[in-house]
Amino acid sequence: MTAAASTESATQLVLPTYDDVVTAAKRIQGAAHRTPVLTSRTANERSGASLFFKAENLQRMGAFKFRGGYNAISALSPEQKRAGVVTFSSGNHAQAIAYAGKLLGVPATILMPLDAPAAKVAATRGYGAEVVQFDRYTQDRDALGREIAQTRGLTLIPPYDHPDVIAGQGTATKELIEEAGPFDILLVPLGGGGLLSGAVLAAKALNPECRVFGVEPEAGNDGQRSLRSGKIVKISVPKTIADGAQTAFLGNYTFPLIQQNVEDIVTVPDAALVEAMRFFAERMKIVVEPTGCLAAAAAFTGAVPIEGKRVGIVISGGNVDLASFARFVGGEA
Ligand SMILES: *Cc1c(COP(=O)(O)O)cnc(C)c1O
């Protein structure tokens, strides 16, 4: 897998399979939390469906990204571990790599955008990682990441387009289906597609008749446009409160997995994310970050018709600083 990950040529890509998800599940066992699956009678009544929420906001460091990060670092050779890892991220993947690196004794360097939420930058530094900041509107983070990896001899672990990252993210859906499935429909937040790619690997193996949907912020519908046009569409960094899904394009691994296996990709407006955040706080007593609300918002708004169905929903994360959270749930979204 690691060899495949460093292959530059798109024609030689070896896509991860469900076996890799099973391997990842073994690697992360005992390190990652097996997060609960939550239900809400109110949510069921309002939607006319049976909803099962996989609460990855309660995962270690507050998002599913711990799964992929821990799996990818675990898979490295002893030499690679000694040298260390580097990554770029809008936040949660950075924290995942920083925290997994700390747990596994692997030094981590993190490229973070200058406008990343302060809580995420502080948390990343708090895990002992070195943070290098850059301007995401003018600088190419991929190129910067590759450059630092090369000059310092580090292994680059990108946030989504990597077989071991995808396989690790797939463990969330594996657990969800094992615990509460089978489902008619599975709704999954979509940024660069690591979470959704892992989800389809697990769903196709464990629950093949389940229809899987990716959910993007309306402002950043590159995934939907890519699916429609049959090739990866790149957009400029979208302006949305869903900072974990401000990705501009799907990856060379994630696009084919998504293209081959999803039913569709739908979008929701930021206002629907705020609504869902309020619902989670008020009714289910949980803190969910805007990006973490994408899948639930698709259920609540009817972006995906779900009436009468059993529906799995991935709540992807809960990392939002308190000032923003208060502003969102307080009413001036
Ligand atoms: C990264 C992230 C996403 C998007 O995941 P991808 O693998 O990039 O599609 C969704 N929600 C949260 C909370 C995230 O941190």
pLDDT digits (tens, 9 = 90+) for 288-328: 999 999 999 999 999 999 999 999 999 999 999 899 999 99
CATH architecture of 66-156: 3-Layer(aba) Sandwich (3.40)
Q: Report CA-CA distances (Å) from 147 to 111, 154, 333.
A: 11, 10, 39
Q: Give me the torsion for CA of 251, 255, 261, 263, rounded to 10°.
A: 110
Other Cβ atoms closer than 10 A to 279: 21
Q: Whose CA is closest to atom 4 on ligand 1? A: 191
* 11 contacts: CB under 8 Å, gap ≥ 6: none
User: What would the two tokens of residue 50 be?
Assistant: 């049976």
SS3 191: coil
Catalytic residue among 56, 161, 218, 222: 222
Query: Where, residue-wise, is CATH 3.40.50.1100 in the chain?
Result: 18-63+162-330, 66-156
What are the pocket residues of ligand 1 if the criterion is a CB atom closer than 6 Å to any ligand atom? 63, 65, 92, 159-160, 189-196, 244-245, 247, 289, 291-292, 316-317
> Of how many residues is the chain composed?
333
- Mutate which of 57, 92, 255, 324 for ligand 1 pocket (most atoms within 8 A of beta carbon): 92
**CA of residue 61 to ligand 1 center, whole Å:** 13
**CA of residue 81 to ligand 1 center, whole Å:** 25
Q: What is the pLDDT of residues 20-34, one digit of tens each?
A: 999 999 999 999 999
Bridge pairing between strands 85-88 and 108-113: parallel
Catalytic residue among 220, 223, 292, 318: 220
Q: What is the pLDDT of residues 223-261, one digit of tens each?
A: 999 999 999 999 998 999 999 998 889 999 999 999 999
pLDDT at position 123, please?
A: 83
| Fold that domain 18-63+162-330 belongs to in CATH | Rossmann fold (3.40.50)
Q: What is the pLDDT of residues 62-88, one digit of tens each?
A: 999 999 999 999 999 999 999 999 998
